[in-house]
């Protein structure tokens, strides 16, 4: 059985509980800024979360409500970009103000992974500037090998493309990696990439079907703070409300989760080779071809050796 060598973290809902009191509020403030009187209430936003990506979520909502039908497809695309840009500025202000703290146990869990010399990646559909604010400021002590964010892939979760790209960037097989996710679409994306999953739920996703995950907890937990509640795990997992990286590695090794994940490996083999330049279309900034060893990072992809300190 392959030894686990990497952890792939989703961001929204996993690293920070951003959805209800972060992104939703930022969307509503952006709508207000543009003079619109519609708002996304808590329950409605939960249903909209089944559509990954902010621009995609707005497009879905506008189509459902019959809004902006007078716009041509190209005009709608430009309008969505403007709305999303304003929403991103609002959300970044919220992040930088410290109003959205890290979820319990996340930083500790990542630190444990660093001590074990595991590869650490963030795989998110969130805007790359928001991802940078979290990884380079709130988690400045953590050495991330790659931060894959924004439009670095063309297909959003539950499509597995973001995780397939992470496998490609790390040059690891699926059975060597574990994903930390929080939502049904995120778990589905990881499983379709052949990856084992640990799910950490939040106020939205605790009601979703996450049973494809090997372990489900309410949070990773802090020894001297909030502890998690266990919803699913192998019976021999010694769990006291705090989940440790070594526990997860040993548990999944004992129960063959890697072998189960590897059943979906043909999905990865069947993925056509992608043009690296196509992955970064629309990402902010011009950095050339990038990648580790070039001295410059690809837009939306921040390797460990290039992370600002």
pLDDT digits (tens, 9 = 90+) for 175-218: 999 999 999 999 999 999 999 999 999 888 988 999 999 999 99
The strand pair at 119-123 and 6-9 is best described as parallel
Catalytic, 75? Answer no
CATH number of the domain that 49 lies in? 1.10.150.240
Question: Which of 12, 17, 145, 182 is the catalytic position?
Answer: 12
Domain termination residue (choose one: 96, 120, 142): 96
Q: Are 253 and 171 within one domain? A: yes
Distance CA 146, CA 163 (A): 12
Q: Are 228 and 92 within one domain? A: no
Range of the domain at 77: 19-96
Q: Which phi and psi (to 5°) does residue 183 adopt?
A: -125, 165
Q: Are 12 and 23 within one domain? A: no
Q: Are 262 and 184 within one domain? A: yes
7 sits in which H/E element: strand 6-9
Q: Which phi and psi (to 5°) does residue 276 adopt?
A: -55, -35
Q: Are 88 and 119 within one domain? A: no
pLDDT in the model for residue 267: 37
pLDDT in the model for residue 303: 52
Q: Is 12 helix (H, G, I), strand (E, B) or coil?
A: strand
Closest CA to 141 of 99, 111, 105, 109: 111
pLDDT in the model for residue 39: 96
pLDDT in the model for residue 299: 39
Q: Which residues pair with 232 in a beta bridge?
A: 216
Q: Are 78 and 222 within one domain? A: no
pLDDT in the model for residue 257: 52
Domain termination residue (choose one: 57, 75, 96): 96
Q: What is the pLDDT of residues 276-299, one digit of tens each?
A: 333 222 233 322 233 333 332 343
In a domain, 138, yes or no: yes
In a domain, 222, yes or no: yes
In a domain, 206, yes or no: yes
In a domain, 302, yes or no: no
pLDDT in the model for residue 184: 95
Q: Are 158 and 59 within one domain? A: no
pLDDT in the model for residue 223: 96
Number of domains forming the structure of the chain: 2
Question: Which of 10, 145, 151, 182 is the catalytic position?
Answer: 10
Domain termination residue (choose one: 96, 121, 142): 96
Residue with tokens 């840009």: 85
Buried b (16+ CB within 10 A) or exposed e, 230-264: beebeeebebebbbbbebbbebbeebebbebbbeb
pLDDT in the model for residue 2: 60
Q: Are 155 and 219 within one domain? A: yes
Q: Are 141 and 260 within one domain? A: yes
pLDDT in the model for residue 265: 37
CATH number of the domain that 178 lies in? 3.40.50.1000
pLDDT in the model for residue 150: 85
pLDDT in the model for residue 266: 35
In a domain, 294, yes or no: no
Catalytic, 238? Answer no
> Which residue stretches of the chain have pLDDT < 70?
1-2, 257-309
């Amino acid at each position: 059985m392959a030894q686990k060598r990497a952890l792939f973290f989703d961001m929204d809902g996993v690293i920070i509980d951003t959805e209800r009191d972060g992104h939703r509020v930022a969307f509503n403030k952006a709508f207000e800024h543009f003079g619109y009187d519609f708002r996304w209430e808590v329950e409605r936003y939960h249903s909209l979360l089944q559509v990954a990506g902010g621009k995609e979520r707005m497009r879905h909502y506008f189509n459902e409500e019959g809004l902006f039908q007078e716009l041509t497809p190209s005009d709608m695309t430009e309008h969505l970009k403007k709305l999303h840009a304003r929403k991103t500025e609002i959300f970044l202000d919220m992040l930088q103000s410290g109003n959205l703290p890290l979820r319990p146990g996340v930083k500790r869990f990542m630190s444990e992974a660093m001590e074990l010399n595991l590869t650490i990646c963030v795989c998110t559909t969130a805007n790359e500037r928001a991802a940078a604010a979290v990884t380079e400021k709130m988690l400045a002590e953590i050495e991330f090998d790659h931060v894959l964010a924004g439009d670095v892939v063309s297909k959003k979760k539950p499509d597995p493309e973001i995780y397939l790209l992470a496998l490609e960037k790390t040059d690891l097989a699926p059975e060597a990696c574990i994903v930390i996710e929080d939502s049904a679409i995120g778990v589905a994306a990881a499983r379709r990439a052949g990856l084992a999953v640990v799910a950490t739920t939040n106020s939205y996703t605790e009601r979703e079907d996450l049973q494809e995950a090997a372990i489900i907890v309410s949070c990773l937990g802090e020894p001297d703070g909030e502890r998690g509640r266990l919803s699913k795990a192998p019976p021999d997992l010694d769990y006291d409300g705090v989940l440790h990286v070594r526990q997860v590695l040993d548990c999944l090794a004992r129960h063959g989760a890697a072998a189960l994940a590897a059943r979906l490996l043909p999905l990865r083999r069947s993925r056509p080779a992608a043009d690296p330049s196509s992955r970064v279309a629309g990402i902010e900034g011009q950095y050339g071809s990038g990648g580790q060893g070039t001295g410059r990072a690809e837009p939306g992809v921040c390797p460990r050796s290039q992370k600002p300190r």
